[in-house]
Amino acid sequence: MKFKAFLTEHGVNLLERRFLPALDKMGKICHLFLTRDHAIFLHNLLNGDGVQCIAQFRKEALFDDYRISSQNEDRIAFAIDVSLLLRAVRSSVSICTEFGNGPSANRLQIKLVKKLPLNCTQPMPFLTFETNGYKSAVIQDVPISKPLSRAQVLELQTALELAQDIPQTLVQVPDLNQLQNFVERMKQVGDMLNVSISKYGDLHVQISTTLITLGAEFRKLLVIGEQAEAPSDDRNQSAQTRSERAISRGDAQRVQVSVKHFSRSLHCHLAKPDCTFYGIAPQGSCLTVIFQFFIPGTHQTDKSISLHCRLPVFDPGSS
């Protein structure tokens, strides 16, 4: 089992300034799944508890001189502490910036190794970063779990494939900051959030207690997938009435999610996506958030990067 690659400058920027800070907010531990063509960061895919978050990169988006081999079809997966990984990348970048020069400047090598730590009798696995400075090489070891077995890798691969389903209707939310500010206020009211999405392009979020009901509606959003014309007689109705009518017609779905989970998924804005879409899976099995990235300087989707979250629901949903 071997893995070795060089992080490119673009790859370092993606991880250090965008994706690792976002993933760190999603949870302390994630799985890093390496294949012949991709590097994938996975939160909560095996335990099924909490927000599932999947960040997938083609190897060219992050690495140069990418080499991997294993007896499991060149697939390697392990658990890693995201905060330690982020700290190692940032530290290596600062060393490269301060001391790197010549043709090897900013060359940050990453590889899997086994080492014997102090006061240990058994070698332990590490993800090692090696930076060539001006007069010396600086090595940083990030501890990782024992690599997953063949059966565990298959389980992870199966969970990843199941998590790729795209809802039939997606609506684009143009201002994540506005939604985040609203959800922060909602956290003071209660723990459960009702989310409904219609084929008309409406996103309705509401939290209710015995004393208060607080809600927000985002209307006439861009719709991807199945869509429909909103009935004209709905225009003068309240947001809650419009939502109920759309659900009864089969033009909308509603799910109930944790306010804490919803708020946590919004931290993915740290990855600086260009577009954000919300959708509800068939039978209301989860609330899906898909983040879209453009090729810099264009409005074309960067297919080398993908990021999405799946929020567990407390209600089977209605459709």
pLDDT recorded at residue 158 = 94
- By DSSP bridging, strand 305-312 and strand 286-292 are antiparallel
**CATH, domain 1-161, list 3.40.50.11740, 1.20.1730.10, 3.70.10.10, 3.40.720.10:** 3.70.10.10
CA distance 120 to 116: 6
* Domain 167-310 in this protein, CATH class: alpha beta
pLDDT recorded at residue 96 = 67
Which part of the chain has CATH 3.70.10.10? 1-161
pLDDT recorded at residue 57 = 98
Per residue in 185-209, is it b (16+ CB within 10 Å) or e — as a string?
ebeebbebbbbbbbbbbbbbbbbee
CB 270 within 8 Å of CB 16: no
Which part of the chain has CATH 3.10.150.10? 167-310
Average pLDDT, the chain: 90
Name residues of the chain where pLDDT drops below 70. Answer: 48, 96-106, 133-136, 315-319
CA distance 82 to 27: 8
The residue written with tokens 């010396």 in the block is 136
CA distance 41 to 171: 25
State the Cα angle at 161 between 156 and 165, rounded to 5°: 140
Show Cβ contacts of residue 318 under 8 Å, excluding neighbours closer than 6 positions: 247, 253, 254, 284
Convert the pLDDT of each residue in 121-155 to its tens digit.
889 999 999 987 656 678 899 999 999 999 999 99
pLDDT recorded at residue 104 = 45
- pTM for the complete prediction? 0.91
Convert the pLDDT of each residue in 148-185 to its tens digit.
999 999 999 999 999 988 999 999 998 888 888 888 88
